[in-house]
Every structure is written in structure tokens, then in C-alpha cells.
Chain A
Amino acid sequence: MKYLVMVQGTQADYEAMQGKGSEGSVAWSQEDIQAMFAHMGAINDDLAESGEMIDAQGLVEPAKTRHVTLGDDGKSVITDGPYSETKELLAGYWVLDCASLERVTEIAERVLQCPQPAGAPVYPVVIRPIGEAPADIG
């Protein structure tokens, strides 16, 4: 069964990772970054080996988001960089093929254990099952 596993972060969290700390988000040192990459890399390597990995990507900071909506006149309205410093948004995802909800939960728990600087905010890891196409008839 396929699942989408998501991690979140705010614009301030991204800037903290880039070395610019702020009140809500302490700056990451190079050791912090390395530890994070090591942890996530090991998870991804294991998932690739087990065959559960379908895709995994990190998203760029919320400041680089583009919204495409409909205006009152029915024409599209394009807005770049609509974000607040403090709202957590999607930061990265995995698409995984797992035997059960228990299994993907186990993986999410491992993601949650990712090392980060003391005092850095913690957000839930979100799991959404992905709908399946209907089986062939006959």
C-alpha cells in the first residue's frame, strides 16, 4: 500500500538551517546539519534497499512558493512568496510502498527521531494513505 509521509517547517526554520537563527528557531551548526543528513540518509538508504522507497524529496523554503488562484473576473491570479514566518508548511515528503500502516508508522517514528539543535521546534510527521486505482475486473 502506498503512503505519503510528510515533514513540516516554517520559513524561520529554513533560515535557521541556513545559519540565520531567530527567536522561534535556533541556528543550526554545521555539526547539526551533518547529523541530520546522516540520519535521513540512513533512513533513505534502508528504504531503497527494502524496496519501500518510491520517491523522497526536500522542498525549497516557503518564501519561494507560488500560488495560482482565480480572481473575481475568472482570470488567474499569480502570487509569489505568500508565507508567514511562523506557519509550518510542507517541507519534504516520502512516497513509500509499505506492507501496513504499522510499518509506515515505524518509519515515521524513525524520521521523528532525527537529531536537531536543542530547543528547535518539533512538528508532527504526517502520514496519508494514497488511494489505489480500482482492480481490473475479471
Chain B
Amino acid sequence: MSVTPETEDLLRRHAPQVLGALVRRYGHFDFAEDAVQEALLAAAEQWPRTGVPDNPRGWLIRVGSRRLTDALRAEEARRAREEKVAALAPRDAFTAPPPGADRAPREDDTLTLLFLSCHPDLTPPAQIALTLRAVGGLTTAEIARAYLVPEATMAQRISRAKQKVRGVRFGRPDNWENRLPAVLQTLYLIFNEGYTATSGTSLTRRELAGEAIRLTREVHRLLPDRGEVAGLLALMLLTDARREARTGPYGELVPLDEQDRDRWDKAAIDEGVDLVTRALTRGPAGPYQLRAAIAAVHDEAPSAQETDWEEILGLYDVLVRIVPGPVERLNRAVAVAMVRGPRAGLAELASLEDELGAGHRLDAVRGHLLERAGAHDEARAAYEAAAAKTLSLPEQRYLHARAARLRP
């Protein structure tokens, strides 16, 4: 007997609240996090038999508290300093009810944990792992499978991350606004990992995108006035809306202009368009709002031919001014080509050789534009060059196939 999807969803939603309650009461973030994991596992094992309790969060906090105090006692016993045991746990730990079991959940514990997980002392992979564990409530095994690393490696990564933030005060950091970009970047990285996962059969990789959307939705709910959060959520929804059309019947990649738009998720597009439209009225647009606006223009076009490329180019003109990275300029070059012709787009690529020459994307775009310009021999060479530079089998197959189509 195993948990239903509804119960699994319930457990994940409660996870950060339970962790917040335990850390507020006992400190010891690392032990508390382990205790929450154990409580979640216990629930997953017992609730299918006994039924979901009336107060699930209270149940999790009670079980988590017991595990936490047990673990703290065991830790002290190992150090043979038993006289300190009583001082570790709060004085009334053995008589008073567990913390927060009866009070309403502190909703911004989710945000607090997000800010904690994205602590600047942690590397991006550590931030991602800790976010998915502490805030997302995923198990180490699930996260490991999603990132295609051995479970032991992921466990170590999480453990080291927890060590680093162990002493940090639990509460929204004073300069939390400075940390918001790191939080959004982490969520975006998680989304991308899930969205671009085209190989491997593990569903967990694709569920990552859904997990990122869920967490971003939560951040948006708690910070409704932050345009960049709304922008990120819109970008995720508008991108994920195309998922079904993005791969062919055998898992092959389908480019945007060849996708069957009937398979796009209309509800997600409507929600994304609404979010970005409102976010753009709230002052100067940041990179996420702009990328979302570009995605909205694509998603609102009934066909590839009816895409308003001039509007997209206008948005890219703004985007490359505030995000001067080569990837944005590459995407802008495609828009230039669609508005002014392929040769104009190709001219834009020359300046990117230094920054992007080693990767496959520049050659791939060059191949597309040369093909549009009718220069088939050069296009074929560009596609083959790109195929030699990518390590992704689906991309290699796609590029070789495009080259093969141009054979005389």
C-alpha cells in the first residue's frame, strides 16, 4: 500500500512549515531537517494504513520533535557529555506540547527557508539541492535521480550544505531583497533542468519543472508586489505550456516553428499572459518579465507564420541592454533575421564568435540562418560543426537530420 498523489502533495506542502516550527523551537537546522525527513517517511509508511490524521501538520511536528530530541540526545551521548543533554532541548521540551502544533502555520517559513537555502556561501548546486529538500520536501533519492547523480553524492551535497548554514539565524535575513535574485535564479535552474530533460525515462526529471512552478507560485503568493517573481512564474508557465508539442512521438526534438500548437496548454498560456501583462504595468521590467513577454508573444501567435517578430525584436532590444550576455544576443540575432532577413541575422553572429564559438548553439543558429538564406552547402557544414560540439544525443540527432535534409 502506498501514498496517494493527494497525500504526497499534502506532505510536500507541509514540509517547510514543519521544518520552520522545529527550527524556531530547537535550532539545530541540520538535525531538524533530518527529523522532518524521517517524519515524512513515517507518514508515507503509516498513513496509508491508518488514514490521514485530522491535523496532519500537528502529527508531523509531533513525530519530528520526537525524532529531533532523540537525535540530539544520541549526539550528546556520543560525546559522553550527558550533563549537557537537558540544556540542549528547551527546559519544557518533555512536558509542553510540541511547538506550533496548534497554531496556524507561519506561511512565510517557506520564504525564510528559501532564503536560507539560497545562502550566498553555498554553491548553486548546493542551493538547488537544499531548496528541493528543505522547501520542496523531496527525498534525497528523488533529487539524486532528477540530477542523475548517485544518491550518496547528493546526500553528501545536502549534508555539507546544511553544515554551512547550521549556525545561521532562522528568520528572514535583513537584506533579503538582495537574496531574492539568488532564490529566483535557483528556481529557474530547477525549472530548466526539468524542462530540458529529454532523455532518460525517470519521470522525476520532468516533475522538477512542476516542482519549480509550485514553489515559484508560493513565492508569488507571498510577495505579490514583486514584478520579477510574477515575471518568473509567467515565464515558467508560458514555457511549460509548450511541453507536449516539444518532443515528437519518439522523443525527438521539435523546434518552435514546427510545433503543433493545438498541443500547447491554453490554460497555462492564459495564466502566463495575464501575469506578465500585469507585471509589466508595475514599473521597469526586469529580465524575467522581458523573457516572459517574449514567450507570451510566441504563445499567443496562432501559427509560426503569424508570430509578431517585430515586437519580439523590440523586447530583445531592451533585454540585451539590461542583460548583456551572449545568449540573449544570440536569441536577438534570430529575431533580427526574422524581421530583416537571414543575412542581417548572420551579420549579428560575427560578434559572438569569441564568447560562444566553443559551444554548439552559435553554429546551430548559423546553420538555420544559412539554410533560410538558401546557402545549403554552408548550412550543412554549420549543422555538422554544431553536432560535433554538443554532447546531447537528441541534439546531435536533430542537427545531423537537418544537415541530411540539405544533401543535394
Partner-B contacts on A (CB < 8 A): 17-20, 29-31, 33-34, 37-38, 41-42, 44-45, 48, 53-55, 60, 63-64
With both chains docked as a complex, state the minimum distance between the C-beta of A47 and any C-beta of chain B, in angstroms: 11
In the complex, which of the residues B152, B200, B397 contacts A37, with contact meaning CB atoms closer than 8 Å?
A: B200
Q: What B residues does A63 contact at CB under 8 A?
A: 388
Contact at A37–B387, with CB atoms within 8 Å? no
Report Cα–Cα, A37/B251, bound state, in Å: 10
With both chains docked as a complex, state the minimum distance between the C-beta of A54 and any C-beta of chain B, in angstroms: 6
24 contacts between A and B (CB under 8 A): A17-B397, A18-B393, A18-B400, A19-B396, A19-B397, A20-B400, A29-B250, A30-B248, A30-B250, A30-B251, A30-B252, A30-B397, A33-B250, A33-B397, A34-B250, A37-B199, A45-B201, A45-B202, A48-B141, A48-B145, A53-B150, A54-B150, A54-B152, A55-B150
B404 contacts partner chain A, Cβ-Cβ < 8 Å: yes
B391 contacts partner chain A, Cβ-Cβ < 8 Å: yes
Counted as pairs of residues, one from A and one from B, with CB atoms less than 8 Å apart, the total is 47
Q: What B residues does A33 contact at CB under 8 A?
A: 250-251, 393, 397
Contact at A34–B400, with CB atoms within 8 Å? no
Report Cα–Cα, A19/B250, bound state, in Å: 14
A60, closest chain B residue (CB): B391
Q: What B residues does A42 contact at CB under 8 A?
A: 201
Report Cα–Cα, A90/B304, bound state, in Å: 43
* B-side interface residues, number (CB < 8 Å): 21
Report Cα–Cα, A30/B253, bound state, in Å: 10
B251, B252, B393 interface centre (most CB from chain A within 10 Å): B393
B401 contacts partner chain A, Cβ-Cβ < 8 Å: yes
- Whether A41 contacts B152 in the complex (CB less than 8 A), given A18-B393, A19-B400, A19-B404, comes out as no
Contact at B251–A17, with CB atoms within 8 Å? no
Contact at B201–A38, with CB atoms within 8 Å? yes
Report Cα–Cα, A18/B152, bound state, in Å: 32
Report Cα–Cα, A31/B201, bound state, in Å: 15
Extra contacts, 19 of them, besides A33-B250, A44-B202, A54-B152 (Cβ < 8 A), are A17-B397, A18-B387, A19-B396, A19-B397, A19-B404, A30-B250, A30-B397, A33-B251, A37-B200, A37-B201, A37-B251, A41-B201, A41-B202, A45-B201, A45-B202, A53-B150, A54-B150, A55-B150, A64-B391
